Amino acid sequence: MTDGLVVVDKPAGCTSHDVVARCRKIFGQRSVGHAGTLDPDATGVLLVGLGRATRLLRFVQEDDKAYTAVITFGVATTTLDAAGTVVDEQSMADLTVEALRAAATGFVGEIDQVPPMVSAIKVGGRRLHELAREGIEVERAPRRVRIDAIDVESFEPGEHPRAVVHVRCGTGTYIRSLAADLGEALGGCAHIAELRRTAVGPFTVADAHLLADVEARNVAVVLSPADMVCALPRVTVDAAIASAVGHGSTFAAHDLLGDGRVASGPVAVLDGAGELLAVYEPRPGSEGRGVKPAVVVRSAS
């Protein structure tokens, strides 16, 4: 079984689950998962975990993300993107790039955002996109999200202006909702015409592989579990501690991390060869003075 991470450049026209299914066939194993769902029409960085590394996906799923979006103003759709049915159309010929940039600044920082009906969030035990397919719309509670930057790269004026924008944001941000809210803030409406995710944490489109490349090169494109959690703080341990880690032992923080250290979050534990043994996290109630295994990647023999 192959353990590790594949950074896929997801094509348009397939779901994130389709990519997982393709990778199962390519690597000949069932244990495959992904972090951070991309819409079918969206492209770009999709992180696919293989084997025991699927249990590490939660540590990369919460990483910050970056997107490039093409926004069409003056047209609203049912899905807030180009795949939906047009529900409103109006001229926004007076819109200027200066007005767009000014409006965008109002969305930078922590904001409340209403999830779109086509999202995977569950309400009453049902995913919103399932309800949307049945023509059902329900109330959605706003969620707090963080947007670090909205940069306007280009702007095409007209009845329905189009803009290319780059967005850097925290996890859980819906770019299609951001586009719709921007349109409303500018006195009209808008939707996402094209969307590409350019980064998830430290992994960018420069690291990503097309599915044909994954199929052709197979394990050559797989990053190690240690590389997968490269953004986490890390500690290298000796053979005795490595054996205890492999058995899932708990530790006083200073015994695992070193004198005077406490754990403020997950920590990657590596052996002397640089291979990932486990990810440890603070033990509840210990105020970081005790640590326990969150995921053991390599068990003791």
Q: Summarize pLDDT for 151-182 with one digit per residue, the tens.
A: 999 999 999 999 999 999 999 899 999 999 99
Query: Are residues 185 and 131 located together in one domain of the fold?
Result: yes
For residue 131, being part of any structural domain is answered with yes
Residue 221's Cα: distance from chain center in Å? Answer: 20
pLDDT bucket at 130, cuts 50 / 70 / 90:
low
For residue 239, being part of any structural domain is answered with yes
**Cβ(51)–Cβ(29) under 8 Å?**
yes
In this prediction, residue 139 carries a pLDDT of 64
Q: Summarize pLDDT for 240-279 with one digit per residue, the tens.
A: 999 999 999 999 988 888 877 788 899 999 999 999 999 9
For residue 301, being part of any structural domain is answered with no
Task: Return the exposure string of 223-246: e unless at least 16 CB atoms fall within 10 Å of the residue's CB, then b.
Answer: bbbbbbbbebebeebeeebbebbb
Residue 256 backbone phi and psi in degrees, to 5:
-95, -40
Cα→Cα distances 212→2, 8, 154, 194, 282, Å = 18, 10, 32, 22, 41
Query: Are residues 84 and 51 located together in one domain of the fold?
Result: no
Q: Which residues contact 75 (CB under 8 A, 6 or more apart)?
A: 86, 88, 89, 160, 189, 190, 191
Average pLDDT over residues 114-130: 63
Average pLDDT over residues 111-118: 78
Which run of H or of E encompasses 4? strand 4-10
226: helix, strand or coil? helix
Which residues make beta-bridge pairs with 251?
291
Nearest to 241 by CA among 226, 232, 251: 251
More confident residue, 37 or 66: 66
In this prediction, residue 122 carries a pLDDT of 63
Query: Are residues 161 and 214 located together in one domain of the fold?
Result: no
Report which listed range, 46-60, 112-126, 132-146, is most confident. Answer: 46-60
For residue 41, being part of any structural domain is answered with yes
244: helix, strand or coil? helix
211: helix, strand or coil? helix
More confident residue, 186 or 118: 186
In this prediction, residue 131 carries a pLDDT of 55
Query: Are residues 134 and 185 located together in one domain of the fold?
Result: yes
In this prediction, residue 288 carries a pLDDT of 78
For residue 257, being part of any structural domain is answered with yes
In this prediction, residue 274 carries a pLDDT of 94
Structural domain containing residue 263: 234-296
Q: What is the CATH number of the domain that holds 270?
A: 2.30.130.10
Query: Are residues 211 and 249 located together in one domain of the fold?
Result: no
pLDDT bucket at 301, cuts 50 / 70 / 90:
low
In DSSP notation, 264-294 reads SS-EEEE-TTS-EEEEEEEPTTSTTSEEEEE
Number of structural domains (the chain) is 3
For residue 79, being part of any structural domain is answered with yes
Name the average pLDDT for the chain.
91
Handedness of CA 88, 90, 93, 99 (dihedral sign): negative
Q: What is the CATH number of the domain that holds 55?
A: 3.30.2350.10
Residue 293 and residue 268: Cα distance in Å, rounded?
Answer: 10
Q: What is the DSSP letter of 84?
A: S
Residue 169 Ramachandran class (φ > 0 left, ψ -120 to 50 alpha, else beta): beta
Handedness of CA 110, 116, 122, 124 (dihedral sign): positive
Residue 13 and residue 252: Cα distance in Å, rounded?
Answer: 49
pLDDT bucket at 9, cuts 50 / 70 / 90:
very high
Query: Are residues 170 and 216 located together in one domain of the fold?
Result: no
**Cβ(117)–Cβ(132) under 8 Å?**
yes
Average pLDDT over residues 14-31: 96
| Predicted model pTM | 0.91
In this prediction, residue 186 carries a pLDDT of 97
pLDDT bucket at 96, cuts 50 / 70 / 90:
very high
Strand extents, DSSP E, 134-270: 143-156, 162-169, 190-200, 203-204, 234-236, 251-252, 267-270
For residue 224, being part of any structural domain is answered with yes
Query: Are residues 106 and 171 located together in one domain of the fold?
Result: yes
Average pLDDT over residues 226-236: 94
In this prediction, residue 300 carries a pLDDT of 60
Query: Are residues 169 and 112 located together in one domain of the fold?
Result: yes
Query: Are residues 69 and 16 located together in one domain of the fold?
Result: no
pLDDT bucket at 194, cuts 50 / 70 / 90:
very high
Query: Are residues 96 and 194 located together in one domain of the fold?
Result: yes
For residue 142, being part of any structural domain is answered with yes
Active site residues: 39
Query: Are residues 169 and 131 located together in one domain of the fold?
Result: yes
Residue 144's Cα: distance from chain center in Å? Answer: 16
* pLDDT of 125 strictly over 90: no
Query: Are residues 98 and 170 located together in one domain of the fold?
Result: yes
